[in-house]
């Protein structure tokens, strides 16, 4: 079957705005993160229903260690809760979970929960859900270079293709659509190498409020974009000038 090119194969999301969502409700920030997990589970299924093959979300950045200690430990704890609460359902729903990020500096219990989530869903094929945790675009480029050097690659063997093969996201094609919720218009060090030609969509919607309608609105914006990858437009003048 021919793929519908108006539907992105890979969607990447910066799930931002949890703290502000909680603040609006006079709740501690943690409640925003908790609501954000519930939103993610719904968005994964909605993406799969729309034929999206890969969803990658930014859950904890290399820079998020700068947050107060109780928020950082709250986020780590939330991962354990999320695995307990949702892993069986996601496994049943055909979701394959992959964790991308630096696992070395996270607590042992978290590392074990990630391993459990990956093992329990490894055989699934409906959608691949990558969770960027303790992750950042610059970290990924550096770790890929280190691995390439450790493997003894010669300067002339360092190519875009060979380096891509060392990146944490090597299991997925580059994102077609990059969405950031929460109103900020920046990348915040998410997947720098892979978003080179992604279509960027920014929305003021706070992540816990991001529902199927918001996802469909972003998909509609994407469907209206013309991707040129540096080449010349093939659309008639009226269509490309609007
Ligand atoms: C995004 O929401 C979630 C994480 C960074 C873990 P924020 O916590 O950044 O929410 P805001 O931006 O403060 O509203
Ligand atoms: C980006 O959001 C990281 C995640 C969503 C995990 P931040 O809230 O940390 O980004 P900045 O600090 O506003 O750029
Ligand atoms: Mg934020």
What whole-number distance in Å separates Cα of residue 130 and Cα of residue 100?
A: 7
Q: Which pLDDT belongs to residue 242? A: 46
Query: What are the pLDDT digits (tens) for 168-195?
Result: 999 999 999 999 999 999 999 999 999 9
The ligand 2 atom at the shortest distance from the C-alpha of residue 58 is: 6
**What are the chain's domains?**
10-138+175-224 (3.40.1180.10)
pLDDT above 70 covers a percentage of the chain that reads: 98
What whole-number distance in Å separates Cα of residue 158 and Cα of residue 31?
A: 45
Closest CA to 37 of 72, 86, 73: 86
Q: How many residues make up the chain in this entry?
A: 242
Tokens describing residue 151: 């493997």
Query: What are the pLDDT digits (tens) for 89-128?
Result: 999 999 999 999 999 889 999 999 999 999 999 999 999 9
Mean pLDDT in the chain? 96
Say if ligand 1 is within 6 A of residue 15 CB. Answer: yes
What whole-number distance in Å separates Cα of residue 118 and Cα of residue 241?
A: 46
Residue 238 reports pLDDT greater than 70: no
Neighbours of ion ligand 3 (CB under 5 A): 16
Closest C-alpha residue for ligand 1 atom 8:
19
Say if ligand 1 is within 6 A of residue 176 CB. Answer: no
CA 72 to chain centre: 19
Say if ligand 2 is within 6 A of residue 132 CB. Answer: no
Residue 28 reports pLDDT greater than 90: yes
What is the CA(141)–ligand 3 centre distance, in A? 23
Closest C-alpha residue for ligand 2 atom 11:
188
What is the CA(17)–ligand 3 centre distance, in A? 5
The ligand 1 atom at the shortest distance from the C-alpha of residue 36 is: 3
What is the CA(117)–ligand 1 centre distance, in A? 23
Active-site residue numbers?
16, 64
Mean pLDDT calculated for residue range 49-61:
98
- pTM score, whole prediction: 0.96
What whole-number distance in Å separates Cα of residue 206 and Cα of residue 213?
A: 13
Say if ligand 2 is within 6 A of residue 189 CB. Answer: no
What whole-number distance in Å separates Cα of residue 53 and Cα of residue 10?
A: 6
What is the number of helices (H) and of strands (E) in the chain?
A: 8, 6
What is the CA(11)–ligand 3 centre distance, in A? 19
Q: Identify the nearest ligand to the CA of 207 by its number.
A: 1
- Test site for ligand 2: of 33, 61, 68, 202, most ligand atoms within 8 A of the Cβ: 61
CA 50 to chain centre: 17
Residue 241 reports pLDDT greater than 60: no
Q: Which pLDDT belongs to residue 1? A: 64
The ligand 2 atom at the shortest distance from the C-alpha of residue 60 is: 6
Q: Which pLDDT belongs to residue 239? A: 60
Closest C-alpha residue for ligand 2 atom 10:
188
CB 68 within 8 Å of CB 142: no
pLDDT above 90 covers a percentage of the chain that reads: 93
């Amino acid at each position: 079957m021919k793929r519908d090119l108006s539907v992105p194969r890979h969607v990447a999301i910066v799930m931002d705005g949890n703290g502000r969502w909680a603040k609006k409700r006079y709740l501690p920030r943690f409640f925003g993160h908790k609501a954000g997990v519930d939103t993610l589970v719904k968005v994964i299924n909605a993406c799969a229903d729309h034929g999206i093959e890969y969803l990658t979300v930014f859950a904890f950045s290399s820079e998020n260690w700068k947050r107060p200690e109780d928020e950082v430990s709250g986020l780590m704890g939330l991962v354990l809760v999320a695995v307990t609460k949702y892993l069986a359902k996601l496994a049943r729903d055909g979701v394959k979970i992959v964790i991308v990020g630096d696992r070395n500096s996270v607590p042992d219990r978290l590392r074990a929960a990630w391993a459990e989530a990956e093992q329990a869903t490894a055989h699934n094929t409906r959608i691949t859900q990558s969770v960027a945790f303790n992750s950042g675009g610059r970290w990924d480029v550096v770790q890929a270079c280190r691995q390439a050097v450790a493997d003894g690659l010669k300067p002339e063997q360092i190519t875009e293709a060979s380096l891509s093969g060392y990146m944490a996201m090597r299991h997925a094609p580059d994102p077609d659509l990059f969405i950031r919720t929460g109103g900020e218009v920046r990348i915040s060090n998410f997947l720098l190498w892979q978003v080179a030609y992604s279509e960027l969509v920014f929305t003021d919607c706070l992540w816990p409020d991001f529902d199927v309608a918001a996802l469909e609105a972003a998909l509609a914006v994407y469907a209206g974009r013309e991707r040129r990858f540096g080449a010349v437009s093939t659309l008639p003048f009226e269509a490309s000038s609007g």
